[in-house]
Structure 1
Amino acid sequence: MAATHVNPTRMELTRLKKKLVTAMRGHKLLKDKRDELMRQYLDLVRLNRSLREKVEEGIRFANRNFVLARAGMPDEEVNVALMAPKQEVTLQVSDRNVMSVEVPVFEYQTRTSDPNDIYSYGFAFTSGDLDDAVKSLADLMPDMLRLAEVEKSCRLMAAEIEKTRRRVNALEHIMIPDLQENIKYITMKLDENERSTQIRLMKVKDMMLEQAHHYKERAEEAFAG
């Protein structure tokens, strides 16, 4: 259908052939990109699953310790103990390029390097279960940040895979077949025009030969007379 709107000239044929070569090269590059994105995406999905299981297990462990701490301490004492934290965390967000996808990178720094600063209370009037709960959450924070980073990367890469897949399909099923159809149409038209030109030249040649032959016959008759 698209071929009916094409000007069947040699210049247009050359232009479409160059465009077809570019489209096929782009199609191959996009397929390679899609395959590599899929490979890295599946690696991230597996990492995401293991991190999520680890984080969820750590949260369950911390919650269990908090329940035990609340069972052995009045709620007021637990609230007062956790009211004024000593440690402070600063989150830094950057990004890195993975196959043209800008994925986030999370890094954190604590205000002090003393590991005991995670405890905002003295140990005299609190239970060991509260210490375990606070320690487990502090140990879990790097994995929680990594999980957030991986999950966001998965979403971004999934969107890029879908966009690349649509481009590959558009090239493979629409653009390249249309170009091939138009090239075939122009080639057939040019071949048809060339055959018509050859036929006309042959007819002109036959007419010229016939005229020359009649002219020779008339010249011979006039000479004989």
Structure 2
Amino acid sequence: MELTRLKKKLVTAVKGHKLLKDKRDELMRQFLDLVRENMALRQKVEAGILSANKNFVIAKAGMSEQILNTALMSPKQEVYLEAGKKNVMSVDIPVFETKTRTADANDVYSYGFAFTSGDLDGAVKSLADILPDMLRLAEVEKSCQLMASEIEKTRRRVNALEHVIIPETQQNIKYITMKLDENERSTQIRLMKVKDMMLEEAHHYKEKEVMVE
């Protein structure tokens, strides 16, 4: 019974090991894709923020602080963010969906153009354009963190199966099989001895019968 149980356990462990290895490999593939996307997005976002900051500095130099503060006091556009999730290889990664109050992409200027500089327009437009990439960057970075954690857990499970559970189970099966074979050989030897004893006893009994006759 123990041998049968161990053989079933070994079959399950081998199947689980293969599935976990496939899962780990697929997670690694998707993780590397996300890492490459993350690097590209980060460079793009940092370049956009740098450009916007430069335009803000130039705009501030060419405008009075009071006019600048008044121009940026009341934002005109609103962005609504909805956070969801999707399951990728048993990992729940975030999914962000956004929508603006108005569909007009140019509806981001909360001031008139008479007393403001074009550099301020460029800074505001740069930040508006980079916002979707910033949100996607946050989504991708969090997905990378979650996938890295799942990859590590899967790697540990694969190693535990490969280096501990499967070898121990195989060793136990080998030991039990060896013991059963020894018991079977011992039983056969005992049966042969009993058979020889019975044959010898039967032979002596026939000799006695012949002597009596």
Q: TM-score, normalising length from structure 1?
A: 0.93
User: CA separation in 1, counterparts of 2:139 and 2:110?
Assistant: 28
Aligned to 2:30: 40
Aligned to 2:133: 143
Aligned-residue offset at 1:116: 3.2
Cα deviation, 1:193-224, whole Å, max 9, x if unaligned, reads 0001001001100110111111111111111x
Q: Which amino acid aligns with 1:50?
A: A
Q: 1:208 aligns with which of 186, 198, 207?
A: 198
Secondary structure, aligned partner of 1:104:
strand
Q: Which amino acid aligns with 1:108?
A: T
Q: Using the TM superposition, name which of 71-80 and 52-61 deviates more.
A: 71-80
Cα deviation, 1:162-202, whole Å, max 9, x if unaligned, reads 01000100100111011101100110010000001001001
Aligned-residue offset at 1:96: 1.0
Q: Does 1:30 align with 2:32?
A: no
Aligned to 1:7: none
Identity, in percent, stands at 77
Q: 2:62 aligns with which of 61, 72, 88?
A: 72
User: CA separation in 1, counterparts of 2:66 and 2:183?
Assistant: 97
Q: Which amino acid aligns with 1:135?
A: K
User: CA separation in 2, counterparts of 1:173 and 1:75?
Assistant: 68
Runs of 5+ consecutive residues of structure 2 not aligned to the other structure: none
User: CA separation in 2, counterparts of 1:113 and 1:194?
Assistant: 84
Cα deviation, 1:105-140, whole Å, max 9, x if unaligned, reads 111111112333211111111111000000000000
Moved over 6 A (4+): none
User: CA separation in 2, counterparts of 1:24 and 1:113?
Assistant: 55
User: CA separation in 1, counterparts of 2:120 and 2:97?
Assistant: 27
Aligned to 1:218: 208
Aligned residues: 213
More relative contact order, 1 or 2 (CA 8 Å, 6+ apart): 1
Q: Which amino acid aligns with 1:167?
A: R
Q: Does 1:134 align with 2:124?
A: yes
Runs of 5+ consecutive residues of structure 1 not aligned to the other structure: 1-10
Q: TM-score, normalising length from structure 2?
A: 0.98
